[in-house]
Structure 1
Amino acid sequence: MSTYTPHSSRRGFIKKSAAAAGALFAAPQIIRAQTLGNSEKSAANSRMGIGFIGMGLISQGHLKTFSGMKELQPIAVCDVKSWQLERASKTLKDRGFNDVQATANWEDVISNREIDIVCVTTPDHWHAALAIEAMKNGKDVYVEKPMTLTIEEGKKVVEAQEKYGRILQVGSQQRSSERFRKAANLVRNGMIGEVKEIYCQLGQFPQPPEQEEIKPVPEGFNYDRWLGPTPYYEYSDNRVLGNYGRGWRCYWEYGSRKFGDWGAHHFDIIQWALDRDDTGPVEFIPKGYNGAEYHHYRYADGITVWRDRKPNPAMIRFIGTEGEVHVGRGKLASLPEDLVRHRFDDDAIQVYESNNHRQNFIDSVISRKPTICPASVGHRSGTICQLAGIAELLGEPVQWDPATEQVVGNLKATAMQDRPRRPGYELPEV
């Protein structure tokens, strides 16, 4: 294992760990259950090692579910907040895993040769670097949505997955829902005619406080590492708070606000239903521009996606020339009403079927077949979130060429396809 200390060179670690990982790229490492003290939970030679990086809110479901899978053995947990690290360790200990490594340094996880799979559930600004480093070191990756913070990061993650032949799953779990799959099949098979408009419900985040209450960094928290590649700000509780309705998700520095939150889910389903996982929209118009009542974006054929336009009876409302499909978590409805009961024959278009997002990932790790949401898909959906955010920040339309993946005719927006990174936190080379 490559050894990392807070004062060592991150670039030096990368060189050492990449060299050590050369033999790992071909396939997942299988660990004997007896060796790890888990022979009663699975047959020998059947468990793969998994490490977790980022032990905040969203990680709790992953930690419990992955640790309960017969194919997996938890090896390590990692977080820069000591209290979150302690909570994760206790969760696994309560589930019978007593020898799990707990570390504040992600390098310890990624360089660990017993680990085959890395689950990345940090805030968005750390996703790309960790996913790339893990794949370079021969690991398969489950990474939360949105896959990256910027468009250029997304291109690099796609490049890394292709170069190193790894399996990657983006946490866009709505693709593994029967309701969303049925909605996509109805749209794909033309059951509502030609789609003209789509209403997408994202909701609102509060703005960050104008005057942050600056406090000392809590003991046991490596705040500089939490900030990572983003600009340095004095510590405040709200800036680092893990909360689904506020906290760090409200800051542009660490994500794309609601575009990167619910947008990463719903825009992804829209791409899927329209069969556009390898392309994207061509124009993004922010709310308020030339009197626009709602933020919206358009595809080249004129299909328009509206944010928070009413009336919207579901999270996503597909409006076609011959009907509608309304879909959300826990809801699937249609106009005409009986359309949702349609049974497709063998000749119908059928999207990729997965009924369990995490299990789909593990099955793909074993089979080496693509997941339902690989890096290429996560990148295209994430690009929509990021371009929508750029348009909102600039307060003007952004034209996009999905073939070249470049902003058209707007130097300010082009510059925002990527973001400056603090020295010492450069994006890894692929």
Structure 2
Amino acid sequence: MKSPGLSRRDFLKTASLATAALSLPRLVRAQTPPPSEQLTIGLIGNGLICGHHFGVLTGRDDCRIVAVCDVNLPKARTMRDRAEKHYGANAKSGRARGIDVYQHHEDLLARDDIDVVFVTTPDHWHAAIAGAAMVAGKDVYCEKPLTLTVPEGRALVNIARRYGRVLQTGTQQRSNAAFRKAAEIVRNRLIGDIKLIRTRLGTFPPALPLPEQPVPAEFDYDRWLGPTPWRPFNEKRVLGDYGGGWRCFTEYGGRKNGDWGAHHFDIIQWALGMDASGPVEFIPRGFQGTPHQTHVYADGVRVERVDEGLKAMIEFQGTRGTVWVSRDDYLETDPPELATRALRAEDQHLYVSDNHHTDFFNCVRTRQRPIADVEIGHRSATVGHLNNIAQQLARPVRWDPAREEIIGDPVASALLDRSRRAPYGALL
């Protein structure tokens, strides 16, 4: 019997979990689940990366988009129209047309019929929206890097644990077999002791001064800036562009240390077994002749950012061999047979996910932690943040990953967080 203290949606979720042990998970059923069993999705931030998620989500039968939100209302309406066209044309889905549009995320989060929120805004809004979503009872898929500062990450971990929410970080390389295989080779010391890891992140153009332009109609530009300093509007400042746009500005992101570092530093953390820890020293390029940005783990393993000359995105050098791994399922090893060597029972076997969205939705239903859990996303983002701090100060920074404190450098410690512009200063 339904408890009088449970909403209909809560009851359906509870009943679904109670029967999970007696049947196959809904995600692997051949038929389309009834609407009452589909996870309802709200998309917050309707730019480039949201378009990627839209294509994935509308291709699934276990979820449906019911609301979209963007401070630029025309973007939200465009996303709504795409969704309504898809659901209207897809008669077999049984999903009614009608997607609600919001300009402010608080209004979307106030709905009690939304299960999951995708946070696909620029980086400077990730923490505040993801935190508010979890407090509102939603599970969250948040794009990478998870945060803009170190304290934001710890705050999100605390909120997720306090409210029992599932948060998947959008570091989807963890759900790729080549990256998993590379990490397992390293974890099992099949190339011996790791001495050096090299990775390429690429570069962004410099952030140049921009002339003021009129703010477009129905664009809440003040809200877009949010907690960051006030700057005159220019379309290039707010541009969603994987090669630049807002990503060029340290006010809104971590440049390449945040953008691609969130991916590659994450895989390195995974391979080294550092998901709940991190490096202990960060050395900027150029310091006393250091040729590359470098961070160092307590056991002496060095990670160098080498943006030219690498044949793969990540290169692991060991005392008995080397592993190269990239996207598009590229994996090369020396000796070559390691690439196809099957793991043995006594070897370390890493979490297997072959689809980042499926892993997330499975965990929403089972309440397990996903492959890129909030703690993992926080720790990987921290590596990028600290590299940026060392670069900004042009000197090394020593880090205590257990206490999450910079050692013996008050100036560097002050850069761990940022001031926030009113009225957007509160972080849950």
The alignment's TM-score, normalised by the length of structure 2, stands at: 0.90
1:17-53 Cα offsets, whole Å, 9 max, x none, are xxxxx978x969659xxxxxxxx95325311211010
Is residue 2:87 matched to residue 1:89?
no
Partner of 2:27: none
Partner of 2:42: 51
Partner of 2:104: 105
Partner of 1:178: 177
In the TM superposition, 1:195-344 aligns within 5 A as: 195-209=194-208, 211-308=209-306, 311-330=309-328, 331-344=330-343
Distance 1:291 1:309 in 2: 17
**Is contact 1:30–1:48 with CA below 8 Å preserved after alignment?**
no
How far residue 178 of structure 1 moved from its aligned partner, in angstroms, is 0.5
- Which consecutive unaligned segments of at least 5 residues does structure 2 have? 15-30, 89-96
- Secondary structure at the residue paired with 2:174? helix
How far residue 344 of structure 1 moved from its aligned partner, in angstroms, is 1.0
**Is contact 2:205–2:248 with CA below 8 Å preserved after alignment?**
yes
Partner of 2:388: 389
Which segment drifts farther, 99-108 or 265-274?
99-108
Distance 2:34 2:204 in 1: 47
How far residue 311 of structure 1 moved from its aligned partner, in angstroms, is 3.9
Partner of 1:116: 115
Distance 1:304 1:121 in 2: 32
Is residue 2:70 matched to residue 1:71?
no
How far residue 409 of structure 1 moved from its aligned partner, in angstroms, is 1.1
Instruction: Return the letter of the residue paired with 1:56.
Output: G
In the TM superposition, 1:133-152 aligns within 5 A as: 133-152=132-151
Sequence identity percentage: 44
How far residue 220 of structure 1 moved from its aligned partner, in angstroms, is 1.8
Instruction: Return the letter of the residue paired with 1:155.
Output: R
Which segment drifts farther, 383-392 or 40-49?
40-49
Instruction: Return the letter of the residue paired with 1:53.
Output: I
**Is contact 1:29–1:115 with CA below 8 Å preserved after alignment?**
no
1:306-355 Cα offsets, whole Å, 9 max, x none, are 00165422000000000000001021001112210111122211110000
Which segment drifts farther, 155-164 or 300-309?
300-309
Distance 1:219 1:132 in 2: 29
Partner of 1:3: none
- Secondary structure at the residue paired with 2:363? helix
- Secondary structure at the residue paired with 1:325? strand
Partner of 1:12: none
How far residue 69 of structure 1 moved from its aligned partner, in angstroms, is 2.1
How far residue 78 of structure 1 moved from its aligned partner, in angstroms, is 0.2
**Is contact 1:55–1:88 with CA below 8 Å preserved after alignment?**
yes
Instruction: Return the letter of the residue paired with 2:263.
Output: H
Instruction: Return the letter of the residue paired with 2:217.
Output: E
**Is contact 1:286–1:388 with CA below 8 Å preserved after alignment?**
yes
Distance 1:63 1:360 in 2: 17
When residues 118 and 286 of structure 1 are mapped into structure 2, their CA distance, relative to the original with a 3 A threshold, is: same
Instruction: Return the letter of the residue paired with 2:261.
Output: G
How far residue 64 of structure 1 moved from its aligned partner, in angstroms, is 2.3
**Is contact 2:32–2:62 with CA below 8 Å preserved after alignment?**
no
Instruction: Return the letter of the residue paired with 1:215.
Output: Q
- Which consecutive unaligned segments of at least 5 residues does structure 1 have? 1-21, 32-39
Distance 1:324 1:109 in 2: 48
How far residue 259 of structure 1 moved from its aligned partner, in angstroms, is 0.3
Distance 2:235 2:11 in 1: 39
How far residue 183 of structure 1 moved from its aligned partner, in angstroms, is 0.3
**Is contact 1:78–1:105 with CA below 8 Å preserved after alignment?**
yes
Distance 1:130 1:287 in 2: 34
Which segment drifts farther, 320-329 or 55-64?
55-64
Cα RMSD (Å) of the superposition?
A: 1.9
Partner of 1:7: none
How far residue 393 of structure 1 moved from its aligned partner, in angstroms, is 1.2
- Secondary structure at the residue paired with 1:296? strand
**Is contact 1:230–1:421 with CA below 8 Å preserved after alignment?**
yes
